[in-house]
Amino acid sequence: MEEYRIPKTMKAMTLTAYDHLEMAELPVPQPGPGEVLCRIRSVAICGSDPKMIHGGYKFANWPPYYPFVMGHEWAGEVVALGEGVDSWKVGDRVAGEAHHGCGDCDNCKRGHYTVCLNYGKDGHDGGLDTGHRHYGFYWQGANAEYNVYKAAVLHRIPDNVSFDAASMCDCAGVAMHGVELAGVTPGGTSVVIGPGAIGLNAMMECKALGSGRVIMIGRGAKLEKAREMGADICIDFEKEDPVARVLELTNGIGADEVMECSGAKDSPYKACQMVRKTGSVAIIATYHDGDVLIPANTVNFNEIHIVGSKANPNVSDKVLHFMSTGAIRAEELITHRFPLEEYEKAVDIFEHKKEGSVKVVINP
């Protein structure tokens, strides 16, 4: 195979202060032991990106320094290998995860590397890489032409899946992790609250995993998008009480499982009211309006199983397979594409839901 010609510098979109982005020319990073250098082909904008730009994650110390390269939902190709990497070759098409755990703590050993006990450490202890890398949040991300990643975070893209679609591996994986934690009842009733990109992926995943019918709760154009993409029943919460409607549709029993993907402050409470006794509620969204309420007595008396869900551990190959088979129709979620130079415009369209935007992809 012809050797890939790697330039010395690259374009990168950097966050230099809250609410201040600048295009920069940076050195192309070099892969160290266990790492690969990837040419970034597609980066999908996540709901966390505008919040980070505006300083919404100061409490988490994101970003940890300036200038900082964001971007964590990406796909590209391998262009160089670091020492000891034999699992990849130059030219491989890959999608990456945002988290690489330390591999040594109890959580990592049990496969829970997105909640690594060494999160936030600098990753170096006596010359050994023992920290947790959170690409695009605590570690340099993908809003650039190239980036270096640990080989373990990469996943092979099926031949019939485009780079743009594969950049949604992270988003679809976040939904998939929550869906798996809650469980899907074959032939049963699943409810998804919030028809954003994660909710739409959760809806398709519930169907792929055997749910008898999936009910989507939302409003406006995104609820219509859910109907268009296969939701069996759509409930507009501005026109009817979603709890009452779900109970009506299930003969008063409730849904088997509820995936809360909206981030609305009252949605976890409503989810517990519409799920059946012994049913499951997955909290997949994050919340920015303070603490949310949970009906503790209802949870207790009905033995409701509530699961928190963080990121996308151990699911990337599954969602890429679903994209390949068409069970996840990722291309249909992409409404806008922009070059890296127009990143600010892309964020504005995504953040403010302009022009019917669902998923916005950057092509560096």
Distance (Å, rounded) from C-alpha 195 to C-alpha 207? 15
pLDDT bracket for residue 361 (50, 70, 90): very high
Domains of the chain in start order, with CATH, are 9-170+313-363 (3.90.180.10), 172-308 (3.40.50.720)
Q: How confident is the model at residue 130, as a pLDDT?
A: 66
Q: Which residues contact 47 (CB under 8 A, 6 or more apart)?
A: 196, 197
Distance (Å, rounded) from C-alpha 39 to C-alpha 20? 25
Q: Which residues contact 358 (CB under 8 A, 6 or more apart)?
A: 196, 197, 200, 222, 225, 333, 334, 335
The CA angle 48-336-91, to the nearest 5 degrees, is 85
pTM: 0.94
Range of lowest pLDDT (87-91, 287-291, 358-362): 287-291
The answer, yes or no, to whether residue 217 has pLDDT greater than 90, is: yes
Residue 146 burial class via C-beta count within 10 angstroms: exposed 0-12, middle 13-18, buried 19 and up: buried
Range of lowest pLDDT (14-23, 57-66, 161-170): 57-66
Q: What is the mean pLDDT of residues 260-279?
A: 97
Closest to 203 (Cα-Cα) out of 303, 282, 150, 126: 282
Q: What is the DSSP letter of 5?
A: -
Over the stretch 172-215, which tens digit does the pLDDT of each residue have? Answer: 999 999 999 999 999 999 999 999 999 999 999 999 999 999 99
Q: How confident is the model at residue 244, as a pLDDT?
A: 98
The answer, yes or no, to whether residue 123 has pLDDT greater than 60, is: no
The answer, yes or no, to whether residue 126 has pLDDT greater than 70, is: no
The answer, yes or no, to whether residue 287 has pLDDT greater than 50, is: yes
pLDDT bracket for residue 344 (50, 70, 90): very high
